[in-house]
Amino acid sequence: MSTKPVFDCLKDDSLTQLYPGYSSFTCLSAVLRLFNMKAKNGWTDRSFTELLEFLHEILPQGNTFPTSHYEAKKILCPMGLEYQKIHACPNDCIFYRKEFEGLHKCPRCRVSGYKVKDDDKDEYDMKKGPLAKVLWYLPIIPRLKTFFCQC
């Protein structure tokens, strides 16, 4: 494990050229932009890894581009940021936390908290499906603590 502060790790990655002689994108800026596209378009980790492998192959020899989702995450998140996934109503009425944690339908709008397929008639099947909306919460205090500690 590196003993450099997180800021220094990010600074080094922001200065690392994608490949020798190319200065339009650094490794960090390219990975950041691709992660943004991944999030916007709902790419799976597997499809993202395939894209990274392909880009690594077509870039010139000696490039610093990551070849997997895991390697890209290590560049982007050297801090190991904590996050919480919070189940939310599809209509933004409530978060399924505290007194609403055990519910499967929103008490305000009566909409299921799970993605419903057209052929789902059984409410039990709906409860097993994927969540309709999830909020990713990044608590600020652990982020600040991590930022000022060692990598």
Task: Supply the angle between the helices 27-41 and 45-58 in degrees, to the nearest 10.
Answer: 140
More confident residue, 26 or 80: 26
Instruction: Give yes or no: residues 83 and 27 share one domain.
Output: no
Model confidence at 143: pLDDT above 80: no
The domain of 64 spans: 6-78
Instruction: Give yes or no: residues 87 and 135 share one domain.
Output: yes
Instruction: Give yes or no: residues 83 and 148 share one domain.
Output: yes
* Residue 1 resides in a domain: no
Domain boundary among 23, 47, 78: 78
Domains identified in the chain, total number: 2
- Mean pLDDT for 51-75 is 87
Among residues 28, 40, 77, 34, the alpha carbon closest in space to that of 53 is found at 34
Q: What does the alpha-carbon distance between residue 19 and residue 64 come to, in Å, rounded to a whole number?
A: 6
Q: What does the alpha-carbon distance between residue 91 and residue 104 come to, in Å, rounded to a whole number?
A: 14
Instruction: Give yes or no: residues 149 and 104 share one domain.
Output: yes
Model confidence at 1: pLDDT above 60: no
> Residue 5: beta bridge partners?
150
- Cβ 68 vs Cβ 52: under 8 Å: yes
Domain boundary among 78, 98, 117: 78
Instruction: Give yes or no: residues 71 and 87 share one domain.
Output: no
pLDDT digits (tens, 9 = 90+) for 71-126: 888 877 665 556 778 889 999 899 998 998 888 889 999 888 888 776 655 555 55
pLDDT of 144 reads 74
Domain boundary among 36, 59, 78: 78
Contacts of 6 (CB under 8 A, 6+ apart): 78, 79, 146, 147, 148, 149, 150, 151
Instruction: Give yes or no: residues 31 and 85 share one domain.
Output: no
Q: Using only C-alpha atoms, what is the Rg of the chain?
A: 20
